[in-house]
Amino acid sequence: MPDQIPLVDYLVLGDDPHLVANECTACGARFFDRRNACASCGGADFAKVDIDTTGEVRAFTIVSFAAPGVPVPFVAALVDCGGTSVRANLVNVEPDDAHVTLGMPVRLTTSVMGTDEAGTEAVTFGFEPVPVSAGAPA
């Protein structure tokens, strides 16, 4: 298997791919970027926390017009993963308002985005609809 690198450093690869956040140890605010301090309370100590790999779509847009080189259409969304907001594309779903709906349950998935000159694969993430049969009991 070729070497892999995640698209972003808050994506953890392996058997159970998931996202991690920097959580402020003082107030619990969560951030996905490298931090200087906490934007909520000013605290400077952070701990890594795993983010739920399932969530619900709180907002979405279907982008049909973007920069050259960005394949369209694609679905961009705000996913609520157990109380933590995550920005991601919705994947493995038709990009139209008949198939993408507010509140739909989704789960994290990863895919190879491309291979560089050194043969390393970059792995990206997205959220896909949870099949009805695999969803939580109603």
Residues forming contacts to other proteins in the complex (CB under 8 A) are 5-10, 29-34, 39-40, 57-72, 74, 76-78, 83-89, 97, 102-103, 113-114, 116-118, 120, 122, 124-125
- Give the nearest distance from C-beta 2 to other proteins in angstroms: 12
- Give the nearest distance from C-beta 88 to other proteins in angstroms: 6
Residue whose entry in the numeric block shows the structure tokens 């996202």: 19
Amino acid present at 114? G
Q: What is d(CA 45, CA 37) in angstroms, rounded to the nearest whole number?
A: 8
Phi, psi (rounded to 5 degrees) for 95: -80, 70
Nearer Cβ to other proteins (77/106): 77
| Torsion sign (Cα): 8, 49, 90, 77 | negative
- Give the nearest distance from C-beta 19 to other proteins in angstroms: 10
